[in-house]
């Protein structure tokens, strides 16, 4: 039976000492540095000195600013007196980590946080260490199968997932009811004051835009996501209906366009009904709206006479180890520590990121948390696994951005929607 996300399971080992470079798995010792000394009596005794180690960590800015990384580096050092670690923690967003690592792998962080859709390119470039031993076992036995899949390439584990990477719907309870938010149609039909937007449309570089097309049952590279001969079908009759629907939605005066507004200002002024975002901005919206902040699974929409459940990309945010790390054993041990049950719970408490560790997910604080609850529901009924093939990564992101941008500018309209979508589909062809 497949394990459900955040279902009850017993956590096991926290820290590992195995890592690999490129596609091989290497074993590293985690022992102390010993030196031999001779006493006056001529007897030889061994003295134990901590091994001096330097470790560069690339972490998202929010985990640096709130003190999470500082706390975790200190607690890890306390657990490992055999190492005298000099940590260098640098801000690097998970969304752009791959690009920065591949600029110069040797100069990149020894440990880095990244979004799992970047994994194939990191593996193909030999930039991320394959994990083995107890680290691999930790990932496989303390995470749901769907989560493990997000960091697996050719049956090998390359990273430790630490939080779910998806989005859901936020809404202002003073403007919309639980009934209103069930569909985009009912959200847009709600009567609101003239200076209030009912909905905020956000393409997020194609990350959120995909939910409309995948929700309508459309695919890129088939249901398997790796049937490259199948190409994409976003230009078929349903795809054009979705595109025309988005043209109407974006051009509706009651729709805010994310690139043109400040969501933090709109929420604070009760001027936005519903919008899509992730857990990382929960505290921002909660501070602005307090008890008026509502959370829900993304809704349905009806572009062609049929109700479709929007389906957001599901993935994970994960922690990887640079294949060129000088101190592999320390880097792997620290990465595993950052992804452990205890650290996931700490990160949840400090930044609201729902843990992928199953035992952490059963923690009372997580179970009673509305963010964690909606993320699990979203993952189960309103999501599609985000493709991680190199082909998808190299073609989709570069070309999909034009769809929303051109709808907004008017360059993509109902008169040329077929032509534009044909061109988009052609850019995804794999020779």
Query: Which stretches does DSSP call E strand in 268-343?
Result: 272-277, 293-296, 300-301, 308-309, 312-321
- Greatest Cα-to-Cα distance within the chain, rounded to the nearest angstrom: 96
Using CA atoms, how far apart are residues 60 and 90, in angstroms rounded to an integer? 8
Q: What is the pLDDT of residue 352?
A: 80
Burial string for 230-266 (b: 16+ CB within 10 Å, else e) reads ebbbbbeebbbbbbbbbbebbeeebbbbbeebebeeb
What pLDDT digit, counting tens, does each position of 196-222 carry?
Answer: 999 999 999 999 999 999 999 999 999
Is the pLDDT at 30 greater than 60? The verdict is no
Judge if pTM exceeds 0.75: no
- Report the pLDDT averaged over residues 109-130: 95
Using CA atoms, how far apart are residues 112 and 51, in angstroms rounded to an integer? 22
Using CA atoms, how far apart are residues 256 and 364, in angstroms rounded to an integer? 37
Using CA atoms, how far apart are residues 72 and 85, in angstroms rounded to an integer? 13
- Report the pLDDT averaged over residues 345-363: 90
DSSP 45: E
Q: What is the pLDDT of residue 390?
A: 83
Q: What is the pLDDT of residue 146?
A: 78
337: closest CA among 73, 145, 116?
Answer: 73
- Report the pLDDT averaged over residues 286-311: 97
pLDDT confidence band for 14 (50 / 70 / 90): very low
Q: Name the token pair of 368.
A: 């009673």
pLDDT confidence band for 324 (50 / 70 / 90): very high
- Report the pLDDT averaged over residues 249-274: 97
- Report the pLDDT averaged over residues 341-363: 91
313: closest CA among 344, 278, 281?
Answer: 278
Q: What is the mean pLDDT of the chain?
A: 89
32: closest CA among 54, 56, 18, 52?
Answer: 52
Let me know how long the chain is.
431
Q: What is the pLDDT of residue 373?
A: 87
Q: What is the pLDDT of residue 47?
A: 53
Q: What is the pLDDT of residue 310?
A: 98
Is the pLDDT at 227 greater than 70? The verdict is yes
Is the pLDDT at 16 greater than 80? The verdict is no
Q: Which residue has the higher pLDDT, 45 or 96?
A: 96
Q: What is the pLDDT of residue 201?
A: 98
Is the pLDDT at 412 greater than 50? The verdict is yes
SS3 146: helix
* Lowest-confidence segment of 65-74, 291-300, 360-369 by average pLDDT: 360-369
> Would you say 307 and 246 are in contact if contact means Cβ atoms under 8 Å apart?
no
Q: What is the pLDDT of residue 283?
A: 87
What pLDDT digit, counting tens, does each position of 149-166 carry?
Answer: 899 998 999 999 999 889
Q: Name the token pair of 142.
A: 């303390």
Q: Which residue has the higher pLDDT, 404 or 144?
A: 404
- Report the pLDDT averaged over residues 340-352: 93
Q: What is the pLDDT of residue 7?
A: 35
Q: What is the pLDDT of residue 381?
A: 86
Question: Residue with structure tokens 């479709």?
Answer: 308
Q: What is the pLDDT of residue 80?
A: 97
Q: What is the pLDDT of residue 31?
A: 36
Using CA atoms, how far apart are residues 101 and 106, in angstroms rounded to an integer? 8
C-alpha 210 chain-centroid distance: 15
Output the CA torsion sign for 26, 125, 322, 327: positive
- Report the pLDDT averaged over residues 251-261: 97
pLDDT confidence band for 20 (50 / 70 / 90): very low
- Report the pLDDT averaged over residues 392-415: 96
256: closest CA among 235, 236, 271, 241?
Answer: 271
Is the pLDDT at 42 greater than 60? The verdict is no
Q: DSSP per residue over 173-200, as a string?
A: TTT--TTGGGBHHHHHHS---TT-EEEE
> Would you say 293 and 172 are in contact if contact means Cβ atoms under 8 Å apart?
yes
Q: Name the token pair of 351.
A: 């930044």
Beta bridge partners of 322: 128
What pLDDT digit, counting tens, does each position of 178-194 carry?
Answer: 999 999 999 999 999 99
- Report the pLDDT averaged over residues 26-46: 41
Share of residues in the chain with pLDDT > 90 (%) = 74
Question: Residue with structure tokens 């500082």?
Answer: 70
Q: Name the token pair of 297.
A: 């699974």
Using CA atoms, how far apart are residues 168 and 211, in angstroms rounded to an integer? 11
Q: Which distant-in-sequence residues (6+ apart) come within 8 Å of 31 by Cβ?
A: 82
Is the pLDDT at 391 greater than 80? The verdict is yes
């Amino acid at each position: 039976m497949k394990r459900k996300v955040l279902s009850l399971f017993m956590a096991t080992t926290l820290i590992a000492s195995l890592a690999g470079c490129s596609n091989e798995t290497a074993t590293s010792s985690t022992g102390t540095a010993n030196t031999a000394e001779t006493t006056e009596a001529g007897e030889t005794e061994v003295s134990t000195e901590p091994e001096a180690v330097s470790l560069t960590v690339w972490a998202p800015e929010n985990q640096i600013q709130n003190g999470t990384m500082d706390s975790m580096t200190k607690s890890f050092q306390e657990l490992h007196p055999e190492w005298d670690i000099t940590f260098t923690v640098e801000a690097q967003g998970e969304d752009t980590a791959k690009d920065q690592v591949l600029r110069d792998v040797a100069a990149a962080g020894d440990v880095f946080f990244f979004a799992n859709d970047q994994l194939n390119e990191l593996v193909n470039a030999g930039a991320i260490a394959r994990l083995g031993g107890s680290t691999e076992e930790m990932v496989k036995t303390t995470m749901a199968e769907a989560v493990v899949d997000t960091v697996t390439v050719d049956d090998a584990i390359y990273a430790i997932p630490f939080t779910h990477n998806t989005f859901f719907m936020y809404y202002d309870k003073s403007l919309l009811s639980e009934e209103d938010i069930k569909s985009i149609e009912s959200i847009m039909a709600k009567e609101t004051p003239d200076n209030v937007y009912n909905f905020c449309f956000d393409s997020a570089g194609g990350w959120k835009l995909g939910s409309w097309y995948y929700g309508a049952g459309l695919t890129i590279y088939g249901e398997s996501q790796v049937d490259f001969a199948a190409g994409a079908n976003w230009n078929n009759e349903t795809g054009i209906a979705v595109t025309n629907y988005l043209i109407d939605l974006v051009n509706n005066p009651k729709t805010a366009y994310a690139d043109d507004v400040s969501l933090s200002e709109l929420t604070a002024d009760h001027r936005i009904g519903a919008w899509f975002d992730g857990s990382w901005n929960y505290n921002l919206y909660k501070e602005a709206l307090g008890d008026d902040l509502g959370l829900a699974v993304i809704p349905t929409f009806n572009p062609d006479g049929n109700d479709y459940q929007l389906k957001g990309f599901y993935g994970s945010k994960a922690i990887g180890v640079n294949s060129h790390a000088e101190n592999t054993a320390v880097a792997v041990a620290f990465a595993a520590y950052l992804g452990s049950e205890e650290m996931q719970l700490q990160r949840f408490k400090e930044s609201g990121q729902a843990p992928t560790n199953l035992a952490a997910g059963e923690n009372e604080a997580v179970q009673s948390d509305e963010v964690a609850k909606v993320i699990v529901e979203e993952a189960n009924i309103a999501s599609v696994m985000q493709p991680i093939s190199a082909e998808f990564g190299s073609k989709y992101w570069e070309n999909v951005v034009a769809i929303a941008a051109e709808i907004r500018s008017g360059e993509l309209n109902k008169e040329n929607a077929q032509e534009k979508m044909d061109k988009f589909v052609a850019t995804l062809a794999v020779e």
